[in-house]
Amino acid sequence: MREARVTLGHTDISVRPIGLGCMGMSQFYGDADEAESVATIHAAVKAGIDFFDTSDIYGAAGAATGQSQKGFGHNEELLGRAVRGLRDRVVLATKFGARPSEEGGVVYDGRPEYVAAACEASLRRLGVDHIDLYYLHRHDTAVPIEDTVGAMAELVTAGMVRAIGLSAVGPDILHRASAVAPISALQSEYSLWAREVEQEVLPACRELGITFVPYSPLGRAALAGRFTSETSFEGDDFRSTLPKFQEENFAGNLRLVEGLKAFAAERGHAPGQVALAWLLAQPYDIAPIPGTKRPEYARQNAAATAVPLSADDVAHLSGLFDPARVRGGQYGALNARPQH
């Protein structure tokens, strides 16, 4: 159980331990109702959530991003409208560096000359005068990370952003980037059933004083216990392309989720709350950002900070979802470098 605030890296920015990922309000997981999405953000604020995550690419059409006609920048605009009048109660994080290609896919752009332009556009869409945490969405391998991070650091000096972060990079890039400027947060996938970061990435974050921000901490809703063997995902649902959700893999993974559901039921909690509590019990500075577009789930996720887990409970859950038992990798061939 953890109620204390989490400080982002070496900054003076602190957040509640559980935030809200807004991506699904614009694409990836089927249609979303904008009014309900705004209501979800408001419900999250009322429940005490103050850490909100978006990206300039959320809403852009493309096979690698989940089909959408909402447009580049849609999610930032939506979040900006929702928090208007609430700026002093929220910490806003957004990302840049992934944009649609002419072929309908995604290109990664970390050129120093693009950094300031992308930030200025995000500020306009969000309707704010500064961004609290500004991430590079994916490392552009054609550009040295030192060059991109150097340009991001200039945004801090200019007062456009308060802190900078990276997404989905390994220890080598973290060390190289940190030698240029303080990296306050790393965002990557981490959950009971996606634990690749445990071996090298999380220890590197600890060494460098970087807060870890898990995306998809509920296994893209699977760990919330809402799916059955009869569940299918349509073509506009990103999960239809992911290995963990494919046929036999999905069936095997659902059996693990049944164990989580039974554990949670014995203690009177929702499965997703237990999955989040397991993350918060890890010995690192962690601030998960579960996504939802439903007010009731935002409130439920916020309450996960009050779920008590003993050391034995944590060990039991870790064993239940031993990586050797989880079927399917993180991404499939269609989304080898996705932009979440």
pTM above 0.85, yes or no: yes
- 12 lies in some domain: yes
Task: Determine what percent of the chain is predicted with pLDDT higher than 70.
Answer: 92
Q: List the one residue out of 7, 8, 5, 24 whose CA is nearest residue 216.
A: 24
Mind listing the pLDDT tens digit for each residue in 204-237? 999 999 999 999 999 999 999 988 878 877 767 7
User: In terms of Cα–Cα distance, which of 331, 323, 202, 221 is closest to 276?
Assistant: 221
Q: What is the pLDDT of residue 68?
A: 54
- CATH code of the domain in which 102 resides: 3.20.20.100
Token representation of residue 80? 């900006």
For residue 26, tell me if it sits in a domain.
yes
The answer for residues whose C-beta is within 8 angstroms of residue 233's C-beta and 6 or more apart is 239, 240, 245
In a domain, 314, yes or no: yes
Is 1 in contact with 277 (CB distance < 8 Å)?
Answer: yes
| Residues of the chain above pLDDT 90, percent | 77
Domain count, the chain: 1
332 or 16, higher pLDDT = 16
Neighbours of 159 (CB within 10 A): 9
Q: Residues 232-250: what's their mean pLDDT?
A: 80
Tell me the residue range of the domain where 126 lies.
Answer: 6-335
Q: Considering the domain boundaries, does residue 1 fall inside one?
A: no
Helix (H, G, I), strand (E, B) or coil at 150: helix
Q: Which of 58, 215, 297, 331 is catalytic?
A: 58
In 3D, which of 29, 32, 62 has the Cα closest to residue 239? 29
Active site residue 215: no
Report the pLDDT averaged over residues 114-129.
98
Nearest alpha carbon to residue 72 among 108, 26, 111, 34? 26
Q: What is the mean pLDDT of residues 261-273?
A: 98
Pairing of strands 98-100, 106-108: antiparallel
Residue 319: pLDDT band with limits 50, 70, 90: very high
- Above 60 in pLDDT, residue 49? yes
Classify residue 340: in a domain, yes or no: no
Instruction: Identify whether 244 is part of a domain.
Output: yes
> Coil, helix or strand for 21?
strand
pLDDT value of position 63: 39
| Amino acid 336: pLDDT | 45
Mean predicted lDDT score pLDDT of the chain: 92
Higher pLDDT, 165 or 70: 165
